[in-house]
Amino acid sequence: MASLSSATSTPAASSTPIWSRFARSPFWLRIALIAAILLLLEYYGRFHADPAFMRPPSAVVEAFFTSVISEPKIVSALWLCITEISIAYGMSVVFGVAIGLIVGATKFSRAALFPIILLLFAIPQVSFMPLVILIFGLGPAAKIAFGFSHGIFPIIVNVVAGMRDVKELHLRGARSMGASKADIIRHVILPNMVPSLFTGLRLGMTLTLLGVILAELYVSTGGVGYYTRVFAENYNPAPLFALITSLAVIAIFFNEIVRIAENTLTPGKRRAPRIQSKSVQK
Amino acid sequence: MDRSSLSSRSVQWAFLALAAGAWYLATATGSVSRLFLPPPREVFTALVALVQTNAFWSAVLVTASTVAKAYVLALIIGILAGYLVSRSKLAVATIEPVISGLFTIPITLFFPMFILFFGVGTGSKVAYGATYAFFPIALNTIAAFANMEQRYLLAAQSMGGNRWQIFRYVLMPGALPVLFTGLRIGFFICLASVLGGETISSVAGVGRNIALTAELMEPGRMFAWISFVVCMSVVLNLLAFSFENRIRAR
């Protein structure tokens, strides 16, 4: 077990000032850590790995230009994926906020309806995936539906949680100053909901991405799932990794949009909490 | 039970009854294709027939053992890695954003790589489930041990507690609630990802059977499998919540 004092003291840095500054900066350490992992993968992929299973990062970058971005069919599949995510997320936000406002409106509606939402949220939706494909077909509709059904729940839950956690003091203050019910909703409950709403929007994006990607991979007769299967079955890992990395970059891009919106639109400039970002959802 | 909680219970039962009634009516009037939503009676008889077969229990066993292996792996690696990272503020500041950043990307993306490395057998599902469950467990372990109130540690140290005593009587009780949240989320993510992996590409297990009955256009049996998964997950969720509340209450 590590000593307790190590949790509070700064780690030993080397004597040169520049180095010690780098060694203490989490940002540069993080860059160094990622670079070290990439170098290790490069070394292993180049000299030790079986080329049927793994290729070094440089070969993956090369494959991105030679066999992913240069194939119009793959590019259009990626664009379709982006469209599906956008539509599914848009629907999740609109319906999620609307249902959240209805469920969170009164103490009674919360007590009656919120447990139903939580119960539905707890069910592993992936067991319905073949059914969703059966109903909506192999095209984009099924992927949008599955992304939507994943993304809507964290948004509802966090909207309701935000409306629930209004301080009694603020409500009583507003009432004693003669605020009407509409005033209280407009000036007390809604502003109080904003940070929690954005947490929900962030988690909703993560789950929308999950739902769309799951359905994309399951339907292996078309779209991105088809190409991942072709590359994997032909033991052609470089374009497979390149395709997966492009999808990961798309996912990061979507997540960053939501996070930047959160940081700029939240009153009081409260930075999005990173620790426990998942554990607050239920 | 007071009046307001009684009436909210009745709303919940009414919702359940409404859903069941809508299911029955939609199938009885034939307004929904039997392929998408078979009548409740058909699903029930299919479920009763299903649990009497050996194939059912062997599929459940495959999935259960896959989830168990994946969860134990994620538990050991996640808690160990999380605890080691939490011991240094610099390590938390450096590594925690990497883990939480990776967790926002759907790990499902990398599923084809798991298939490539470990084949279509249970091995790929164990690795995939363990990878997915690692993230919430590690993140919550870091949060549990790194956000400990320094006052408590200082007080314990000044009262002469040795390392083991501080770990046993201060660190552990303080960390357990947050840690258990991570373990619960990790378990259900593990379960869902194993089911998802089996649905996408595998040779056995519950997820494989749901996909197979859908491909064979057997809605009765497919809904029987789905309702089994739904019932199991509801039961497991209730168990996990009551267990967690017991830990909190102590």
Residues of B in contact with A125 (CB under 8 A): 192
Note whether A26 contacts B: Cβ–Cβ < 8 A: yes
* Closest-CA residue to B183 (of B244, B239, B235): B244
Min Cα separation B214/chain A (Å): 6
**Does B22 map to a domain?**
no
Average pLDDT value over all residues in chain A: 83
B238 occurs within a structural domain: yes
Tokens of A66: 């030679």
Chain A segment 155-214 residues within 8 A of B by beta carbon are: 202, 205-206, 209-210, 213-214
Q: State the DSSP H helix or E strand holding residue A61, giving kind and residue range, or none if neither.
A: helix A57-63
**Residue A143: pLDDT over 70:** yes
The yes-or-no verdict on residue B211 having pLDDT over 70 is: yes
Q: Which residue has the higher pLDDT, A212 or B36?
A: A212
List the 105-124 stretch of A: residues with Cβ below 8 A of B.
Answer: 107-108, 111-113, 115-116, 119, 122-124
Q: pLDDT confidence of A279, banded at 50, 70, 90?
A: very low
Asked whether the predicted pLDDT for residue A2 surpasses 70, the reply is no
- How large is the average pLDDT for residues B38-50? 90
Mean pLDDT is lowest, of A252-256, B24-28, B224-228, for B24-28
Q: What is the ipTM of this complex?
A: 0.86
pLDDT of residue B58: 93
Q: Report if residue B215 sits inside a domain.
A: yes
Instruction: Grade residue A12 by pLDDT with cuts at 50, 70 and 90.
Output: very low
For chain B, the farthest-separated pair of C-alpha atoms sits apart, in whole angstroms, at 76
Chain A nearest CA to B209, separation (Å) = 10
- In chain A, what percentage of residues exceed pLDDT 70? 88
DSSP classification of residue B159: T
Contact B117 A53 (CB under 8 A): yes
Whether B67 and B194 have beta carbons less than 8 Å apart is answered as yes
Q: What percentage of chain B has pLDDT greater than the value 70?
A: 98
Picking from A4, A33, A241, the nearest residue to B157 by CB comes out as A4
pLDDT at A86: 96
Q: Do B98 and A34 touch (CB under 8 A)?
A: yes
pLDDT band at B30 (very low <50, low <70, confident <90, very high): confident
CATH of A65-269, one of 3.30.2090.10, 3.40.640.10, 1.10.3720.10, 3.30.390.10: 1.10.3720.10
3-class SS of residue A206: helix
Mean pLDDT computed over A55-60: 87
Instruction: List phi, psi (to 5°) of B163.
Output: -55, -45
Judging by beta carbons within 10 Å of its beta carbon (0-12, 13-18, 19+), is residue A90 exposed, middle or buried?
A: middle
Query: Are residues A237 and B116, on separate chains, in Cβ contact within 8 Å?
Result: yes
Q: How does residue A275 score in pLDDT terms, banded at 50, 70 and 90?
A: very low
Asked whether the beta carbons of residue A6 and residue B210 sit closer than 8 angstroms, the reply is no
Q: Are B59 and B225 in contact (CB under 8 A)?
A: no
* Residue B46 in domain: yes
Chain A hits for B95, Cβ within 8 Å:
30, 33
Using CB atoms, pick whichever of B100, B105, B142 lies closest to residue A251.
Answer: B105
What angle is formed at CA A214 by the lines to CA A57 and CA B183, rounded to 5 degrees? 85
Query: Averaged over A23-42, what is the pLDDT?
Result: 87
Q: Check residue B152 and give its pLDDT.
A: 80
Return d(Cα A238, Cα A220) in angstroms, integer: 19
Q: Reply yes or no on whether the pLDDT at A125 is more than 50.
A: yes
- Please check whether residue A246 touches B, CB under 8 A: no
Question: What per-residue confidence (pLDDT) applies to A7?
Answer: 43
- The Cα of B218 is separated from the nearest Cα of chain A by a number of Å equal to 11
Under 8 Å between Cβ of B75 and B186: yes
Is the pLDDT at A246 greater than 80, yes or no? yes
- The answer to whether B222 contacts chain A (CB < 8 Å) is yes
Instruction: Enumerate the domain spans of chain A.
Output: 17-48, 65-269
B136 chain-A contacts, CB cut-off 8 A: 278-279
Residue A102 has pLDDT above 80, yes or no: yes
Q: Which of A145, A23, A214 is nearest to B211 (CA)?
A: A214
Question: What does the block give as tokens for B200?
Answer: 């996408």
Q: Dihedrals φ, ψ of A44, to 5°?
A: -65, -45
pLDDT digits over B167-205, tens only? 888 888 888 888 888 999 999 999 999 999 999 988 889
B9 occurs within a structural domain: no
At residue A264, the pLDDT reads 84
Name which of A30, A123, A228 is nearest B112 (Cβ-Cβ): A228
Q: How far apart are CA A159 and CA A198, in angstroms?
A: 9
Q: Which domain holds residue B131?
A: 40-249
Q: What is the pLDDT of residue A10?
A: 46
**B142/A contact by beta carbon, under 8 A:** yes
What's the pLDDT score for residue B10? Answer: 87
| Spatial CA neighbour of A45 closest among A61, A31, A32, A30 | A61
Spell out the residues 6+ positions from residue B189 whose beta carbon is closer than 8 angstroms to its own: B132, B133, B135, B136
**Stretch A68-89: mean pLDDT, rounded?**
92
Residue B10 lies in a domain: no
Judge whether residue A274 has pLDDT over 50.
no
Average pLDDT over residues A185-193: 82
- Chains A, B: CB contacts within 8 A come to 197
Whether pLDDT at A88 is above 70: yes
pLDDT value, residue A201: 93
Decide if B88 and A7 are in contact by the 8 Å CB cutoff. Answer: yes
Contact A217 B112 (CB under 8 A): yes
> What is residue A165's DSSP assignment?
T
Chain B residues near residue A10 by CB distance under 8 angstroms: 89-90
Q: How far is residue B121 from each of residues B22, B36, B65, B71, B229, measured CA to CA in Å? A: 40, 30, 13, 17, 21
On whether any CB of chain A is under 8 Å from the CB of B241, the answer is: no
Kindly report, residue by residue over B58-96, the tens digit of the pLDDT: 999 999 999 999 999 999 999 999 999 998 888 898 899
For residue B200, which of A152, A218, A42 has the smallest C-alpha distance?
A218
A-facing residues of B in 164-193 (CB < 8 A) are 164, 166-167, 178, 181-182, 185, 188, 191-193
* Local structure of A220: helix, strand or coil: coil
Q: Could you tell me if A166 and A201 are in contact, meaning their C-beta atoms sit under 8 angstroms apart?
A: no
Domain count of the fold of chain B? 1
Chain B residues within 8 A of A274 when measuring between CB atoms: 96-97, 100
Residues 40-79 of B with CB under 8 A from A: none
